[in-house]
Amino acid sequence: QHELKLETVQDVLVQLAIRSLGGSESHALADSGFGYSQVLPILARGLIATSGSTLIVEQPEVHLNPALQTRVADFLVAMARAGKQILVETHSEHIVNAVRVLSAEDHTGRIASECTILYLEATGGKPTVHELSVRGDGTVPEWPRNFFGEAATLTGRLLRAQKRFRGVPQ
């Protein structure tokens, strides 16, 4: 059974149904959450774009849960591998980290060599642009201190707070 299903009603109306990865039933796109309707144009434009063209995407993560954000990153990388230039403006740590993971999993090194992350930071009232490269192992040298540090900070705080439940002195 496919994840997407198209149905035509009276040869006029086209209805798109979506099945979740673990589910067995399909549901109308209109009943599946706003995120799907937001990402559908990105998928369509990516698929119809020709090799050598540029696809510009603004905040593909809007209204998507982290798992779907990661799948969008998979799709965008697949489009880049198909010869399309992809420019993404995002606030999603999941998308950036998915690209890092895909770079590390890519035995050819092509993803890392073709990927650049531009990070804009306001310093002294003026924007500063940091051009970051992704290495073949998924690391990003010169990762700015304030760039997606919230997850690591929260994890550290949680681990320190959990010490008291294990009887470990702080």
Between 1 and 166, where is the model more confident? 166
Our CA angle for 33, 39, 45, nearest 5°, is 150
Name residue, tokens 């959990």.
162
The model's pLDDT over 48-67, given as tens digits with 9 standing for 90+, comes to 999 999 999 999 999 898 98
Strands 13-18 and 85-89: unpaired
Are the CB atoms for 93 and 101 separated by under 8 Å? no
9: three-class secondary structure by DSSP:
strand
The model's pLDDT over 69-87, given as tens digits with 9 standing for 90+, comes to 999 999 999 999 999 999 9
* φ and ψ at residue 94, rounded to 5 degrees: -65, -40
Please tell me the distance from the alpha carbon of residue 64 to that of residue 19, in angstroms, as a whole number. Answer: 15
7: three-class secondary structure by DSSP:
strand
Quote the pLDDT of residue 52: 96
Q: Within a 10 A sphere around the Cβ of 16, how many other Cβ atoms? A: 16
CA dihedral sign of residues 71, 96, 59, 85? negative
Please tell me the distance from the alpha carbon of residue 47 to that of residue 84, in angstroms, as a whole number. Answer: 10
